[in-house]
Amino acid sequence: MPTQPRLRSRSVLAASLLLVALVASIYWPVGGYDFVGYDDPDTVLENPVVIHGLSGQGLRQAFLGTHVGFWLPVTFLSLALDHELYGMNPGGFHVTNVILHAACAVLCFWALYLLTGSFWPALAAALLFAAHPLRVESVAWITERKDVLSGLFWFLALLAYSRYVRTRKPLDYLTVAVCFALGLMAKPMVITLPFVLLILDYWPLGRYGGHADPAGREPFLRLVLEKAPLFALCAGAAWITLWAQVQSGALTSVSVLGVSDRLSNSLYAYSMSLWKFFWPTALAVVYPHPGYSLTSAPILAGALVLSAITAAVVLARKRAPWLLVGWLFYLGVLFPVSGVAQSGVQAYADRFTYLPHTGLALMAAWAGAQFAGRLSVRRGIAVGLLALCVTGLAGVSAAQVRYWKNSLTLFSHTLAVTRENWLTENLLGAALFEEGRYREAEEHLRRSVAIHPGFAHSRVNLANALAHMGMEEEAFQEYERALALNPDLPDAENGMGILSAEKGDYGEAARRYRKALKARPNFSAAHNNLATLLVQTGDIEGAVRHYQKALELNPSLASAHYNLGLVFKSQGRYKEAFPHFLRAVEVRPGYALALNAAGTLLAEAGQTGPAIDYLRRAVAADPESFDAQFNLGIFLMKEGGQEEALPHLEKAASLAPGNPVAWSAWGSALLLLERKEEAAERFRQALDLDPEFSQAREGLSQALEGS
């Protein structure tokens, strides 16, 4: 067993600061990055645990329920804490991920140093872990908070174990168990920790031996029994994870993907994850699963490579035990996500290597140190070569980080480096739809449908794009095809409800919305849409109930805040309406309708100055909004700002050329500026549209006096 090193030395402090600086230099841009449209909406934006924050309700939902197919209370509560600190500002969530990764890098170094007593190899392995491009997905993707958070507890558990094997104190063992339990509640992939501890017992801890071993080593069975409480935690975590996956439908059935296909893809996943450790190029957020199409060549090649490495490290175990330990570390920790128990549509994923690659980094670092020692390479040269390697990896990582700026950059890059990627075609189409680029969205969504006709969500997104382009009949057909594939798809029912409401078929629309809510009772958008329909049919009480339910489920649903504010305003409940308009603007700062509503409400309350500020923001957010332009012009004119009001009233008249009130208001502003001939023309236009418009007639009379 290695001698216990000290963590208080200046070298350890300097190494730790170096790791933090390295992580910061790679990931500093992410503080200005956005959420992405792949899992971030489910994990953060629409996650009830995150939305309700660190409240009693949030805590209950975190520990007593599942979300997105997993029971991850620690991860979700960490995101809820970010929500308490930053609201829904994505930059704050990103920064937390970076801080956690920096902490993992430092703890990785400390753990390896304390376990082995070797400073430079431990630092080299930690630098490789911190800088490697395959870490980018886990750090730059907010959804992967579970990677960096579970990694934190993983390395803390290793630190605690390094102490326990020297002290044998129950409190130190309890610390290991607590860290392991917290890691499981952050991401169940850390379930392999007890097995890794057994590997570390072999090397570097050297705990294996006989019953009467003079060095104090112990029989293998005793070391296994020592970890019985940890294996019990494994069993509990495995049961909960399997139950959550089955309940959510995320676990792929053997009838869909057979055992042989799973094993083939598992070999492929191991091989690709190994290859990308040494050659990290063409990195993508989605590597499509080959399904039944994987040919025998890559499977055979992968099997041969893995077998050859395994044989080599076994043969070299006496003179280089770290090779065997690092290799078993990699194989074992990656196994839960290798595809044998398939969850999701990916063949493999960069994020899955966050902890497994520590084993490969360990192999590389200790092999490099041994190689340098045998060649009598000076320390300065060895450190220089390490610095060169780490700098190169950091450069590739920094370039990869830039693709995570937003959904469009991420998914466009993924399509550029992969083939037949139906899921990413769908994701990019959905992202373009959110940007209002419906024609481009349609192109990508049609490609997604062509590649994978059985993916219902692509058809729903295609239908949404078609509906916004005015192609209602074709949109309706796509919704029907989606429902034929998945009869309980609430998004399709909700879309058909919107189309029915636009046609005036309120009964059919209500039926669709209620069917969507039956399939997904927590579907906040469907509650909002049904409430809007109930307003149109006169059921105000029912509408308020559904708006409030939508906001209970998703307090950040800006449209529901705005709609409920309108209902309260129509009832004269201004004190209740105004906070909803404000909240809508807070959630969506460029929400012109809510800004206009807040401004007009303030103006009606006599607060013209603040009202004008809101209306200016509304015009800036949407210059084509008639209401915002008209209201701003009117209130500026009332405050004596006719010159400033004039262009807004002119714009309002151009936006609604058939509205006599707009022409008359424009004429009134011109009249106040003594531009009587122009004013008369505007009043005449208003009277042409409405000969009975008395205000325009009076304005025309005043304009003609003395002209």
Residue range 689-703: mean pLDDT, rounded: 89
According to the model, what pLDDT value does residue 46 have? 85
Q: Of 272, 261, 238, 246, which Cα lies nearest the Cα of 339? A: 261
Local confidence band at 703 (pLDDT 50, 70, 90 cut-offs) = confident
Query: What is the tens place of the pLDDT at every residue in 165-185?
Result: 999 999 999 999 999 999 999
Query: Highest-confidence range of 50-54, 99-103, 602-606, by mean pLDDT?
Result: 99-103
* pLDDT cut 70: percent of the chain above it: 93
Q: CA-to-CA distance for 656 and 654, rounded, in angstroms? A: 6
- Sign for the pseudo-dihedral over CA of 134, 136, 138, 144: negative
**φ, ψ for residue 546, nearest 5 deg:** -75, -35
According to the model, what pLDDT value does residue 423 have? 94
As beta bridge partners, residue 346 has 288
Q: CA-to-CA distance for 6 and 355, rounded, in angstroms? A: 25
Instruction: Report the greatest alpha carbon distance in the chain.
Output: 120
Asked if residue 127 is part of any domain, the answer here is: yes
Local confidence band at 77 (pLDDT 50, 70, 90 cut-offs) = very high
Asked if residue 24 is part of any domain, the answer here is: yes
Helix or strand or coil: residue 346? strand
Domain hosting 95: range is 10-242+260-403
Helix or strand or coil: residue 492? helix
Helix or strand or coil: residue 343? strand
Query: What is the tens place of the pLDDT at every residue in 41-71?
Result: 989 988 888 988 888 888 888 888 888 778 9
In a 13 Å sphere around the CA of 257, the CA atoms on its Cβ side amount to: 24
Nearest 10 degrees: Cα torsion 353, 359, 360, 364: 150
Asked if residue 549 is part of any domain, the answer here is: no
Q: Which two tokens stand for residue 397?
A: 């990582």
* pLDDT cut 90: percent of the chain above it: 72
Name residue 86's amino acid: Y
Higher-pLDDT residue of 669, 131? 131
| pLDDT at 215 exceeding the cut of 60 | no
According to the model, what pLDDT value does residue 450 have? 96
Peptide bond into 204 cis (omega under 30): yes
Asked if residue 673 is part of any domain, the answer here is: no
Higher-pLDDT residue of 705, 125? 125
Asked if residue 122 is part of any domain, the answer here is: yes
Of 228-237, 422-431, 550-559, which range is least confident? 550-559
Asked if residue 391 is part of any domain, the answer here is: yes
Residue range 104-111: mean pLDDT, rounded: 98
Outline where DSSP puts E strands in 397-438: none
Helix or strand or coil: residue 208? strand
Helix or strand or coil: residue 251? strand
Asked if residue 438 is part of any domain, the answer here is: no
Q: Would you say 104 and 125 are in contact if contact means Cβ atoms under 8 Å apart? A: no
**φ, ψ for residue 213, nearest 5 deg:** -70, 125
For Cα atoms 73, 45, 441, give the angle at the middle one, nearest 5 degrees.
135
| pLDDT at 577 exceeding the cut of 90 | yes
CA distances to 51, 53, 86, 224, 391 from 79, rounded to whole Å, are 9, 8, 10, 36, 32
Q: CA-to-CA distance for 475 and 120, rounded, in angstroms? A: 62
Q: CA-to-CA distance for 533 and 503, rounded, in angstroms? A: 12
Q: Scanning the structure block, which residue is given the tokens 């009134």?
A: 668
Asked if residue 607 is part of any domain, the answer here is: no
Number of domains the chain is built from: 1
Q: Scanning the structure block, which residue is given the tokens 């801080």?
A: 99
Per-residue b or e along 450-471, where b marks 16 or more CB atoms closer than 10 Å to that residue's CB: ebbeebbbbbbbbbbbbbeeeb
According to the model, what pLDDT value does residue 216 have? 58
Query: What is the tens place of the pLDDT at every residue in 372-393?
Result: 777 776 778 888 889 999 999 9
**φ, ψ for residue 96, nearest 5 deg:** -60, -40
Residue range 87-95: mean pLDDT, rounded: 94
Local confidence band at 505 (pLDDT 50, 70, 90 cut-offs) = very high
User: Residues 6 or more apart from 8 whose CB is under 8 A from it?
Assistant: none
According to the model, what pLDDT value does residue 642 have? 84
According to the model, what pLDDT value does residue 707 have? 57
| pLDDT at 121 exceeding the cut of 70 | yes
Local confidence band at 257 (pLDDT 50, 70, 90 cut-offs) = very low
Helices 472-485 and 456-468: crossing angle in degrees, nearest 10, is 170
| pLDDT at 541 exceeding the cut of 90 | yes
**φ, ψ for residue 288, nearest 5 deg:** -60, 140
User: Residues 6 or more apart from 48 whose CB is under 8 A from it?
Assistant: 58, 61, 67, 522, 553
**φ, ψ for residue 204, nearest 5 deg:** -95, 0
Q: Would you say 553 and 573 are in contact if contact means Cβ atoms under 8 Å apart? A: no
Q: Which two tokens stand for residue 233?
A: 């935690």
What rounded mean pLDDT belongs to the chain?
90
According to the model, what pLDDT value does residue 9 have? 85
| pLDDT at 602 exceeding the cut of 50 | yes
Q: CA-to-CA distance for 130 and 113, rounded, in angstroms? A: 16
Higher-pLDDT residue of 108, 265? 108
